[in-house]
Structure 1
Amino acid sequence: MKDNKTAALRIPAFFIDAAFVVAALVGLLELLLFTSTIKEPPAVELVMFVCVPVGFFVYWALNINLGKRIFKLVIVDELSEEKASIWQLFLRSILFCMLVSFNIVLLLPLFFSKKNQGLHDMLAKTRVIKRTGEHN
């Protein structure tokens, strides 16, 4: 059954998660610059296609998911609804960051797919569901 409420909750959850990941990445970058570990900020492409995907992967793999926790959402395998595998989380983070510049492409499927999946979820075979007692 279609649940647009869960799809709608993903949007504020995303902004919280993204703020957390970006703040961590900016903090790490500032620390590296302050300690002269790096001499200048990395290229935007390196940040967008390497640092951000790795940041989201670590964030999801460590199950930090602050935004999703607040709204009681969880990333699961689309068929079994069991916790998504490390491979699925890795693939999801890479796909998410590759597609992030196409925000409409990411948001529209949330409301029109039967399982409220973004394009990155469809390709990684994951979905985000409202947490019940059995999901962590």
Structure 2
Amino acid sequence: MAENQLSKAKLIGAVHETIEQFDNCHYLPVYEIMMDDLRDYRFYKEDMIHPSLQAVMYIFEKFGGAWFAENTKTFIKENFSIHKALAHTTADEKDPKYIEFREKLTLRIDQQQKKVKHKIFL
């Protein structure tokens, strides 16, 4: 355990020495976030080594909060919402409410697609 912490300390030290040499170069303390904010085992996968999706999303939000413009944050939030809606299933695909839901979802996807050059929501 001591050797592990020493190696991490050396790496973090090297990173800080490196970023000081460049303009517009910054360090996002992901390791520290995992060790401090997310130290509870519920933030790890079943192997108790790798971060869970909840931990990854927490770190992604920290990254986005530091580096994304407001319009980018809005775009990403809408994409996550669309992905969640795309996972919705029904027993009756001919139900008028479900058809309306899918039509509105298609409009949301089209609106998002117009904002980027590459294909999204394949």
TM bracket (short chain): under 0.3
Normalising to structure 2: TM-score of the pair?
A: 0.27
Larger Rg: 2
| Structure having the larger proportion of residues in strand | 1
Bigger RCO (CA 8 Å, 6+ sep): 1
Normalising to structure 1: TM-score of the pair?
A: 0.26
